[in-house]
Amino acid sequence: MTVYEKLLKDIPPLPIEEILVGVYSVLVKTAKSTGIASTVKYGKMHSSIGKVKQLEQKNLREIAELVYSENLIAASLGMAAINCYWAGHEQNDIPINGKEIIRERGREKTVGVIGHFPFVEIDRDVYKKLLIFEKFPQKGDLEEKDIPMYLPQADVVALTATTLTNHTFHDVIQHMSPDSYKIILGPSTPLSQVLFDYGFHAVCGTRIRDYDHVRKQVALATPIRYLEGVEFVGILNEK
């Protein structure tokens, strides 16, 4: 069973109150909870994710199944719907920031990061070695093709949850060392213990505390790192 099948398995056909696809973020709201995910904009940019009336008539389960789409904006919408379900399903998350876990666990160790998180560069001197793998590499980054060779060296692995949206998750995790401390993080992260099944010790995501405030910011193209009205939370695998 794939990670998508596990995450989708119990999602019911709940009515959706609102869908908002912003430049940087996607929101899906039901009467019970709200989910957020990063908007993945590369790929088939000019293909429609569906007619407006068709999307409005879909339930949470149907929207969540868009995660399988090759259209990555549609897949982003699917991730937001998945996160909407898990945000209301599991309530055992605690206030925690993934970057703090990376800094604490990675001190004087080799850290492998999938995705170029700005905060990681700031802490570069904390680590023995920092390996950043990026689909669109910046100066000093490694490329996706370098993952099989270099990621197994990492004592701590920090994986962006965007790998779930762009369907590279299963390819990447097979190259993580069994002995490494593994973190999955970012706004697209489902707050679900399902991810413990894939060896993750920390699952760090975003919970929306003030929907109306967040909605306005998303509609005005506010980058995720600057959003107000959200809280960084996570669940830890203590086993």
pLDDT single digits (tens) 57-67: 899 999 999 99
pLDDT at 116: 87
The string of pLDDT tens digits covering residues 116-138 is 888 888 888 999 999 999 988 98
- Tell me how far the alpha carbon of residue 79 is from its chain's centroid: 8
Query: Is 80 exceeded by the pLDDT of residue 189?
Result: yes
Q: How far apart are CA 211 and CA 19, in angstroms?
A: 12
Domain definitions of the chain by residue range: 3-89, 94-206+231-236
CA distances from 231 to 119, 225, 234 (A): 17, 11, 10
Q: Which residue, 197, 238, 237, 190, is CA-closest to 89?
A: 190
Parallel, antiparallel or unpaired: strands 156-160 and 181-185: parallel
CA distances from 206 to 41, 44, 86, 224, 229 (A): 20, 27, 11, 10, 10
Q: Diameter of the chain by CA atoms? A: 54
pLDDT band at 220 (very low <50, low <70, confident <90, very high): very high
pLDDT at 55: 79
pLDDT at 95: 95
Question: Could you identify the residue written with the tokens 């995450």?
Answer: 7
Mean pLDDT of 178-188: 97
Phi and psi, residue 128, nearest 5°? -65, -45
CATH class of 3-89: alpha beta
pLDDT at 41: 85
pLDDT at 42: 74
The string of pLDDT tens digits covering residues 87-105 is 988 668 899 999 999 999 9
pTM score: 0.94
- Label each residue of the chain as H, E or C: CCHHHHHHCCCCCCCCCEEEECCCEEEEECCCCEEEEECCCCCCCCCCCCCHHHHHHCCHHHHHHHHHCCCHHHHHHHHHHHHHHHHHHCCCCEECCHHHHHHHHHECCEEEEECCCHHHHHCHHHECEEEEECCCCCCCCECHHHHHHHHHHCCEEEEECHHHHCCCHHHHHCCCCCCCEEEEECCCCCCCHHHHHHCCCEEEEEEECCHHHHHHHHHCCCCHHHCCCEEEEEEECCC
pLDDT at 209: 95
**Is the domain 94-206+231-236 a CATH 3.10.400.10 member?**
no
Token digits of residue 169: 């998750």
